[in-house]
């Protein structure tokens, strides 16, 4: 069961990261979708260095759907797994153009039909582009912190998401994940968590951390 201290954890995180939001640079839902696809097993910082040139050349789904695959591969090469990511960008763009009137869909069910889109990506787009709380984003940081904080004993991202959705008020689903991401980067590092500097230390069971 999720930890009963989640209300206290939420209050501390909200104070520590009052402006927690998606760290992927974007100007519209399509750019956010593309950036999130590229962020798989890649840092947001690197993605933000790649997307300006990508979006300058292919600003929308219509343009990206027609992009030569080798060119897309070259533009996104440094994000890793570039062949799969380039193909996902192209195929998702084709679907958006052909099936959704050129607009990124606003439902989980429709987003999941796009190549390269799983629940994490769909939640990022729905939450940060449309303000729709359909679930909780679970990336590597959220997965790690949810375990360390005792919020979920699961290892599968979708099961972790279900635990967090049950424990949190729906109004907190969007910002809570972003705050965990920021906290994971700044304090609760995977290898060397800065527990002595952590504002959550009194509420944290430090599961999996050498105390």
Is 143 labeled as catalytic in the residue annotation? no
Instruction: Provide CB contacts within 8 A for 46, sequence distance 6+.
Output: 78, 79
Choose the catalytic residue: 44, 139, 163, 172.
139
Rounded CA-CA distance 33/15 in Å is 29
Is 139 labeled as catalytic in the residue annotation? yes
Question: Residue 77 has what DSSP assignment?
Answer: G
Rounded CA-CA distance 198/65 in Å is 45
Instruction: Tokens for 76, please give them.
Output: 């996104």
Are the beta carbons of 168 and 160 closer than 8 angstroms?
Answer: no
Choose the catalytic residue: 3, 120, 163, 172.
120
Rounded CA-CA distance 26/72 in Å is 18
Catalytic residues: 120, 139
């Amino acid at each position: 069961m999720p930890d009963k201290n989640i209300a206290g954890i939420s209050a501390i995180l909200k104070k520590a990261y009052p402006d927690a939001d998606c760290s992927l640079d974007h100007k519209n839902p399509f750019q956010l979708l593309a950036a999130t696809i590229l962020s798989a097993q890649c840092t947001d910082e690197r993605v933000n260095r790649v997307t300006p040139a990508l979006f300058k050349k292919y600003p929308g789904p219509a343009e990206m759907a027609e992009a030569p695959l080798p060119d897309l591969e070259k533009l996104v090469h440094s994000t890793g797994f570039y062949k799969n990511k380039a193909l996902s960008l192209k195929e998702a763009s084709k679907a958006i153009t052909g099936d959704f009137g050129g607009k990124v869909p606003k439902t989980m069910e429709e987003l999941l039909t796009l190549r390269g889109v799983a629940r994490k990506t769909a939640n990022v787009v729905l939450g940060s582009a449309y303000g729709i709380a359909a679930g909780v984003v679970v990336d590597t940081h959220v997965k790690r912190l949810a375990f360390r904080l005792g919020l979920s004993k699961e290892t599968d991202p979708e099961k972790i998401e279900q635990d967090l959705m049950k424990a949190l008020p729906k109004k907190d689903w969007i910002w809570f994940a972003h705050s965990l991401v920021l906290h994971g980067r700044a304090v609760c590092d995977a290898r060397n968590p800065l527990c002595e500097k952590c504002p959550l230390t009194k509420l944290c069971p430090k599961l999996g951390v050498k105390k």
